[in-house]
Amino acid sequence: MLSEKILEVSNLEKRFHIKNSSLFGPKKYVHAVDDVSFDLYEGETLGIVGESGSGKSTLARTVLNLTKPSGGKIIYRGKDISKVSRREQKEVSSSMQMIFQDPYASLNPKLKIGSALCEAIEVHGVVSSKKEARERTLALLDLVGLQSEAAERYPHEFSGGQRQRIGIARALAIQPQVLFCDESVSALDVSVQAQILNLFNELKEELKLTYVFIAHDLAVVRYISDRILVMYLGKIMEIATYSEIFSDKNHPYTESLRSAILEPTTEAKQERIILKGDLPSPISPPAGCRFCTRCFKAEAICFEEEPDFVQMSDTHAIRCHIAKVEGGSADE
Ligand SMILES: Nc1ncnc2c1ncn2[C@@H]1O[C@H](COP(=O)(O)OP(=O)(O)O)[C@@H](O)[C@H]1O
Ligand SMILES: [Mg+2]
């Protein structure tokens, strides 16, 4: 990959302390994000998938400095964000914005959309006058495919898809370079989902954005992502380009996520892999490989030793004893 690295995340950890019922027992923690390392390149879309509870939102919140990491390093454009000045910190946080699943929850119901957008624009000082803020508001509405009348309406007057367009406009008001979209289309109907995904693609071209696109469903991220990162119980199980994620050398967990995609075409008929049981507790994750208790390929070693993260190619890394052997090309 030739483009510049925007983010370098190394050995990132986020633990939440769990209140103990007994005063004297050992302290308990949820390991929501555990030893996560990845890079983000300018102009790419990195998809993050994994079932609910795998640590995707905590990872995004930690990278965006909305919650402090328990360990590890986050380098943004060559600078360690825990060591930059306050002013630089502000610049970093406005250049990376998050778009949530339900923008309605964060919109003031008593404020017209136009006023809400003007406020966001003014707070971030990207314009010099009220008139300019109003002009920019109308330009933003147009950019996300809404009519200018939308400025005079209240949040409850919009449908789910339109509200997500407003959420996107509000994030763009601050002129970010990187958008973290956390389950941003997950609550929408499939047809509306496709429209919003198209909008994301158009905006990426037009504004030269970089995306981190998070979803529990691989079907959602696959059309938009250049690379995909698969998380399970706080750890990265696999990271690869889109085509490598759909190859024949994958983590069994990735295989199970892939098999859950309903293919409309007959050629790609694949047996559905249904995982046994629920996600284990992140307070006491399984010994060995985290996925061993639900893995349909697990062997004795998987219950004993945690697999290393092994490079299968320049762009493909995997944490699995079995896939590593099957893949054959891995060097340790
Ligand atoms: N503030 C918190 N306090 C305690 N545990 C948390 C907190 N936030 C998240 N968790 C736990 O961390 C794990 C990962 O959660 P989350 O990042 O929301 O996963 P995902 O977004 O993949 O569904 C879950 O077990 C969740 O219960
Ligand atoms: Mg989440």
User: What is the DSSP track for 267-330?
Assistant: TT-----PPPSPPPPTTSPPSSSTTGGG-TT--HHHHHSPPP-EEEETTEEE--HHHHHHH---
pLDDT digit string, tens, across residues 248-267: 889 999 999 999 887 665 45
Residue-level pLDDT at 89: 87
For ligand 1, atom 27, name the residue with the nearest CA.
53
What parts of the chain have a pLDDT lower than 70? 1-2, 21-23, 263-270, 326-332
pTM of the model: 0.93
Which of 14, 15, 28, 30 has most ligand 1 atoms within 8 Å of its beta carbon, as the pocket-test mutant? Answer: 30
For ligand 1, atom 8, name the residue with the nearest CA.
58
Residue-level pLDDT at 90: 86
Tokens encoding 133: 């803020």
Spatial contact of 102 and 187, defined as CB atoms under 8 Å apart: yes
- The Cα–Cα gap between 162 and 82 comes to 36
Spatial contact of 166 and 113, defined as CB atoms under 8 Å apart: yes
- The Cα–Cα gap between 125 and 133 comes to 10
Residue-level pLDDT at 330: 43
**What is the enclosing helix (H) or strand (E) of 187?**
none
Residue-level pLDDT at 270: 65
For ligand 1, atom 12, name the residue with the nearest CA.
32
- The Cα–Cα gap between 284 and 331 comes to 31
Q: Which residues line ligand 1 (CB under 6 A)?
A: 16, 30, 32, 50, 52-58, 282
Q: What share of the chain is helix, strand, coil (3-state, %, to 5)?
A: 35, 25, 40
